[in-house]
Amino acid sequence: MRLGRWWNDGRLEEGFIRDGGVVPFPGGITMRQLFIDGLALVDSVRDQVASAPPTPLRQVTLTSPLEPTSVRDFVAFEEHVEGVSAAVDGRSEVVPEWYEAPTYYFANPHTILGSGDLLRPPMTDRLDFELELAAVVGGVAGSSGVSLTPEEADGHIFGYVVMNDWSARDLQSREMRVRLGPCKGKDFATTLGPWIVTADELHPRRTPEGLLPLKAEAFVNGVRVGHDTFLHMGWTFPELVAYASRDSVVRPGDVLGSGTVGNGGCLAELWGRSGVMEPPPLKQGDVVTLWVEGVGEITNIVGHARSAPPLRSARSVAPARHET
């Protein structure tokens, strides 16, 4: 099943995507309610509107299929780590700690874009995309998940969306030298869409290891610049959800990104491998399209950069600051 949100004559509606059109949920049912109650309720709701004629997609405007409660973004592709480290840090390597446990950062749930939305980047000379698949967390009997095992976490995966973790590489490179993690190099935008494909549609395709054999491709202005498969993830999605819940909690509506695929899943990986910025950083007017087999594609056009107030450097502190 595909679930989404769209604008229809100025109204934001939620519902099913089917037969080339959209069908709103009945009776005030919301996407958030479905996340909490899980896929069993989705089946019931679908049956209630089975005979409803869909409104053609061309008559509505799709937007992000959800407003996440939180966004965690992992880095689960070894090839991406090796390639992009050279572009960001100047060293092409995968540190030993990467293999010990999955790593993620928290992205901004308040700057979510949908497919078709105009991207307004910050002032940057190295704008980049990142091709990912993300899991959407749902409830199990309305519950959240705390310190889950991978087997338990599997039941908390509600569905999947295509994800673009937009990046300003010059800002990110400066921030990473402080050794805390990315902030303004990342938090200006994340695209999710075009809809949620429920887990029951994709999970039967998983390998015995639990990996999704889905292809992924990235295009800039219609030219394919990267392609990979989610068979190359270092961890499965249930393992990522379980790790996120370790000594913590995952709640319905949380989004967990796979991390960027390898083999050109972002421009920085290609820059790191070749030593030159080719293809060049994204600029105003560029069209970025990311596709994941069995899920769909998202497209955004790069708009002009946002203006921002001047930024001053840190205050000078006297050498005697520790004297008493």
238 preceded by a cis bond (ω within 30 of 0): no
Phi, psi of 13 (to 5 degrees): -120, 155
Q: What residue segments make up the domains of the chain, in order of their start?
A: 2-63, 71-302
Mean pLDDT of the chain: 94
pTM of the full structure: 0.95
Query: What average pLDDT values come out for the chain (324 residues) when binned by 10 residues?
Result: 97 97 95 92 92 97 98 96 77 89 97 98 97 95 85 96 97 89 94 98 98 98 98 98 97 97 96 93 98 98 94 81 61
Q: What's 54's DSSP letter?
A: P
Q: CA–CA distance from 247 to each of 152, 243, 244 (Å)?
A: 15, 9, 8
Spatial distance between the Cα atoms of 120 and 188, rounded to a whole number of angstroms: 8
212-221 tens-digit pLDDT: 999 999 999 9
CATH ID of 71-302, from 3.40.250.10, 3.40.50.150, 3.90.850.10, 3.40.50.720: 3.90.850.10
pLDDT in tens, 146-178: 999 999 999 999 999 999 999 999 999 899 888
Q: Minimal CA–CA distance to 159: which of 191, 131, 133?
A: 133
